[in-house]
Amino acid sequence: MWNINFNELLEFNESLDRIAEKEQQLSLKRPLPSIAVQKIKEGLFVEWTYNSNGIEGNTLTLRETRVVLEEGMTVKGKSLREHFEITNHHDAIELVEKMVAEKNSFTERHILDIHEMVMLKIEKEFAGRYRNAGVRIVGANFLPPNARKVQDLMSELVAFVNQNPMNLHEVILATVFHHRFVWIHPFLDGNGRTVRLVMNLILMQHGFPPAIILKNDRKKYYDALNQANSGSYKKLLLLVIQALERSLDIYLSSFQDTDDEYLPISSIVMEPDMPYGQEYVSLLARTGKIDAYKEGRNWLTTERAVKEYVIKRRKK
């Protein structure tokens, strides 16, 4: 059995319930206006491409990423590879959407096809093929398994997702998959972009929007993956939950009443009846204690979310 500290995951039950509630709220609003949904998707997909590539070192800004994708232009001073990383990743997102729509069971073929799209026009020789040599990961606290074991380990991982023998919540299941994939490191290059795409394939197959891990959280993300190697999934799960909740909030805020408007925490704490300061509310947001999401380096929440937390604390 894989090394997972289940006790520390219990504290996320409330956050997972909140995500389920938001998913239900979104379902109740369906069918959503198609034009509005398309606009939200377009924005999310650009952000997804920018952040996932940025985590891996791509230097194009969010604005430049949008220019490349929407106007088909090249950016002066940026390499051809960086441009291909942008267009490949966006095409891979469209492939993921197609896979979700097909409603087929999750397979290794999905993983290989997504990787092939990610590496197209960059390293075509290795695109969509498991590695045949050893690899080392700079800054990681582990050495990936021998290349000869990759095929069996990936088959085991796909079976784990489909069978879910531990009866894990879908978000936890996708998080465990994410770490295990990184530990196997099945490809010579493109593992990070691929795993974040495939994790979202799993989430989207279960009806969730994509969880976009932000470039600004790069250090937290790598630290969380290293901690997962010793069985502690707490930090990685928190990042995935916050990323998923952010996408849900973006959808809901487009179709919600103004009473639930998401505002910077600095604005929320200025309300006259607010008992907490900005530093404490920011801590609540970072640790997943309140409904909040991150934009750049700033946390956004609603007045309702903070007041509900206050009421809950008083009851205790």
- What is the model's pLDDT at position 278? 86
Per the CB < 8 A criterion, the answer to whether 299 and 264 are in contact is yes
Cross-strand pairs, 298: 295
Whole-angstrom distance, CA of residue 295 vs CA of residue 195: 23
Same domain, 130 and 267: no
Average pLDDT over residues 272-279: 82
**Same domain for 240 and 96:** yes
Number of residues that make up the chain: 316
Return the pLDDT at 252. 86
CATH code where residue 294 lies? 1.10.1660
Q: Is 89 known to be catalytic?
A: no
Instruction: Tell me, yes or no, whether 208 and 289 share the same domain.
Output: no
CATH number at residue 87: 1.10.3290.10
Q: What is the mean pLDDT of the chain?
A: 90
Residue 2 in any domain: the answer is no
Q: Which residue has the higher pLDDT, 257 or 242?
A: 242
Query: Peptide bond preceding 209: is omega within 30 degrees of 0, i.e. cis?
Result: no
**160 and 291 in a common domain:** no
Within this chain, do residues 198 and 283 fall inside the same structural domain, yes or no?
A: no
pLDDT digit string (tens) for 23-50?
888 888 777 777 878 889 999 999 999 9
Query: In the prediction, which pLDDT does 1 show?
Result: 46
Lowest mean pLDDT: which of 11-20, 175-184, 278-287, 295-304?
A: 295-304
Same-domain status, 278 and 252: no
Residues 116 and 229 in one domain: yes
| Average pLDDT over every residue of 94-105 | 96
Task: Tell me the β-bridge partners of 299.
Answer: 294
**Is the predicted pLDDT of residue 256 greater than 70, yes or no?**
no
Higher pLDDT, 296 or 208: 208
- H helix or E strand, kind and range, residue 295: strand 292-295
- Please indicate, yes or no, if residue 310 is contained in any of the structural domains: yes
Q: Name residue, tokens 């109740």.
A: 28
- Helix pair 170-184, 234-253: axis angle to 10 deg: 130
Residue 156 tokens read as: 């085991």
Query: Do residues 235 and 263 both lie within one domain?
Result: no
Does residue 158 fall inside a structural domain?
yes
A 10 A CB-CB count for 12 gives 22
**1 in any annotated domain:** no
Cα gap 12→301, rounded to integer Å: 18
- Flag whether pLDDT at 139 surpasses 80: no
Q: Does the pLDDT of residue 243 top 80, yes or no?
A: yes
Supply the range of the domain harboring residue 16: 7-256
Q: Are residues 297 and 211 in the same domain?
A: no
Taking the C-alpha atoms of residue 182 and residue 233, their distance in angstroms, rounded to an integer, is: 13
Of the candidates 223, 129, 117, the residue with the CA atom closest to the CA atom of residue 179: 223
Catalytic residue among 169, 179, 185, 206: 185
Residue 147 is given by DSSP the state G
Would the pLDDT of 257 be above 70? Answer: no
Residues 293 and 208 in one domain: no
Query: Does 165 score more than 60 pLDDT?
Result: yes
Our count of domains for the chain comes to 2
